[in-house]
């Protein structure tokens, strides 16, 4: 089929597909503690978000400290079921902003780190070493020396090959660190992560760890990977972990002290976009819809399920339950942060869509390309008409497409928009691709405060070797032919 005929067919089908696709239903503003005033201006705790843009520039990250503390408090409440205590660790890779992490540590979270930098940052923030879990597949020897010399509470080896080098560091320092082995149970991430249970590799790693006198084998670590959104997925994960723990005791005689459970407990107001969602949005302008937030496993249900399942398992065996560490990831910070941006340009309509260029793109909102994130206009006057937009970022590349199809009130250059649930992976995935990274402010503690200043042009070249500036006289001489 020729290109022209394909385009004609798509154009003919576009109105039909849009008609058949269910209309996008925006989630209630109350999910993010937002409201609109009588004029339609979006407010958070009475603070006009347009005012934040005016004061701090665009784009800007906004941390909602009230929601952050509420999420933290919910994780730290003991579930109303019999079971072991649950200890919660903040995932540094998910939101590595010191001002965010410090608030979680003050609330009672430990630190889960996956790199030498994150280990340094946790110690720099004053986290007690015994409240740090060091994970990750690429631990440097220097970072292991730091972790062991400072008495980090748990070092999880990612593969069996890490055991001998770790034991050598421990022997050299004269310490006996607490160690866990990361395993891959069926249905979880494999590849570069952990030793597989189904092939016997995990048991072999535990056997070697148990035979090294320099190490104190105390933990099993497993990470679900992907997204944990329902009770069935959690049950399958826990069953695999508990089965492996039983193997370690029965085959090796090792009673584990800790089950360290990683995994992205889902944020209820986002969802992963399927390839079909993207194709329909790009080709036909069909708008993807959110999932019902109530269908996602809540923090309370997650805690009760973990405590009940682990506690019940060990009670049936007549053995005391181990300590349970939780690394819930995005569910702690995702909905406690938003990204504000302005419209830079509005372009001509094409294929029933009006193009709008934003000053925030994949350089600061990469996750939007793969996840559904509510987009809200900062001003939505009552009764305003709707127009379908294709929203791109400012980068000079065709792939900088954030929202292929999204209905909004009529936009003009300078109008503000809010990208919700920007607290998980937005900041660590951001780059300085053509534009400096934006500032981060926190609200909900009185007047907003700066957590991280925006980058300057000078920041972007601060690490480069200095080059002599072009000499004006030499340039002039060249222009004059000398």
Residue 325, pLDDT above cutoff 50: yes
Identify the weakest region by mean pLDDT among 33-37, 81-85, 144-148. 81-85
Span 151-179, pLDDT tens digits: 999 999 999 999 999 999 999 999 999 99
- Over pLDDT 90: what percentage of the chain? 82
Q: How far apart are CA 18 and CA 405, in angstroms?
A: 11
- Sequence-distant contacts of 318-321: CB under 8 A, at least 24 apart: 319/255, 321/83, 321/84
pLDDT band at 477 (very low <50, low <70, confident <90, very high): very low
Given a cut of 50, is residue 61 above it in pLDDT? yes
| Residue 454 binned pLDDT confidence (cut-offs 50, 70, 90) | very high
- More confidently predicted of 111 and 279: 111
Q: Residue 411 is encoded by which pair of tokens?
A: 């936009």
Least confidently predicted of 114-128, 136-150, 465-479: 465-479
| CATH architecture type of domain 67-264+297-328 | Alpha-Beta Barrel (3.20)
Quick one: pLDDT band at residue 350, thresholds 50, 70, 90? confident
Q: Could you count the other beta carbons within 10 Å of the beta carbon of residue 470? A: 8
Residue spans per domain, the chain: 7-57+335-455, 67-264+297-328
Structure tokens at 263: 């995994």
- Ordered DSSP codes for 1-24: --HHHHHHHHHHHHHHHHHHSPPP
* pLDDT for res 189: 66
Place 21 in a pLDDT band, splitting at 50, 70 and 90.
Answer: low
What are the residues facing 383 on neighbouring strands? Answer: none
Query: In this structure, what are the phi and psi dihedrals at residue 94, rounded to the nearest 5 degrees?
Result: -70, -40
Query: To the nearest whole percent, how much of the chain has pLDDT over 70?
Result: 92
Instruction: Output the pLDDT for position 482.
Output: 35
| DSSP for 391-449, written as a single string | EE-SSSSTT-EEEEEEEESPP-TT-EEEE---SSSHHHH---SSSPPPPEEEESSSS-E
For the segment 377-409, what is each residue's pLDDT rounded down to a tens digit?
999 999 999 999 999 999 999 899 999 999 999
What pLDDT, on a 0 to 100 scale, did the predictor assign at position 273? 93
Please determine, for residue 475, whether its predicted confidence score (pLDDT) is greater than 50: no
The hierarchical CATH code for the domain 7-57+335-455 is: 2.40.37.10
pLDDT value at 479 more than 50: no
């Amino acid at each position: 089929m020729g290109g022209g005929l394909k385009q004609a067919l798509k154009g003919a089908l576009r109105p039909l597909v849009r008609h058949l696709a269910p209309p996008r239903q925006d989630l209630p503003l109350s999910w993010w503690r937002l409201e609109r005033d009588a004029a339609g201006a979006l407010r958070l705790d009475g603070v006009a978000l347009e005012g934040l843009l005016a004061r701090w520039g665009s784009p800007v990250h906004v941390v909602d400290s009230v929601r952050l503390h509420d999420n933290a408090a919910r994780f730290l409440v003991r579930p109303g079921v019999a079971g072991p205590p649950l200890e919660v660790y903040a995932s540094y890779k998910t939101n590595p902003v010191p001002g965010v992490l410090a608030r979680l540590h003050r609330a009672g979270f430990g630190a889960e780190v996956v790199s030498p930098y994150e280990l340094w940052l946790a110690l720099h923030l004053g986290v007690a070493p015994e409240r740090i879990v060091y994970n990750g597949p690429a631990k440097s020897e220097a970072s292991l020396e730091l972790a062991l010399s400072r008495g980090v509470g748990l070092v999880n080896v990612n593969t069996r090959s890490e055991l001998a080098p770790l034991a050598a560091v421990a022997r050299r320092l004269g310490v006996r660190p607490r160690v866990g082995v990361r395993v891959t149970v069926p249905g979880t991430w494999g590849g570069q992560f952990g030793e597989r249970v189904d092939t016997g590799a995990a048991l072999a790693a535990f056997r070697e760890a148990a035979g090294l006198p320099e190490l104190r084998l105390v933990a099993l670590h497993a990470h679900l990977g992907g997204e944990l959104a329902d009770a069935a997925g959690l049950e399958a994960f826990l069953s695999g972990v508990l089965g492996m723990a039983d193997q370690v005791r029965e085959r090796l005689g090792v009673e584990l002290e800790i089950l360290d459970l990683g995994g992205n407990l889902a944020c209820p107001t986002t969802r992963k976009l399927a390839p079909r969602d993207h194709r329909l949005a790009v080709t036909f302008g069909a708008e993807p819809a959110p999932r019902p937030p109530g269908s996602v496993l809540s923090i309370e249900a997650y805690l009760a399920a973990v405590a009940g399942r682990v506690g019940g398992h060990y009670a049936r065996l007549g053995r005391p339950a181990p300590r349970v560490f939780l690394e819930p990831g995005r569910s702690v910070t995702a909905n406690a942060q938003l990204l504000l941006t302005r419209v830079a340009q509005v372009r001509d309509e094409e294929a029933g869509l009006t193009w709008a260029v934003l000053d925030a793109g994949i350089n600061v909102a990469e996750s939007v390309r793969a996840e559904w994130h509510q987009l809200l206009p900062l001003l939505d006057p009552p009764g305003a008409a709707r127009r379908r937009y294709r929203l791109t970022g400012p980068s000079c590349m065709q792939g900088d497409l954030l929202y292929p199809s999204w209905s909004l009130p009529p936009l003009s250059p300078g109008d503000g928009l809010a990208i919700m649930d920007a607290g998980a992976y937005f900041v660590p995935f951001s780059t300085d691709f053509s534009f400096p990274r934006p500032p981060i402010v926190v609200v909900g503690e009185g007047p907003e405060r700066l957590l991280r200043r925006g980058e300057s042009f000078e920041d972007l070249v601060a690490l480069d070797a200095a080059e002599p500036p072009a000499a004006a006289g030499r340039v002039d001489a060249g222009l004059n032919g000398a």
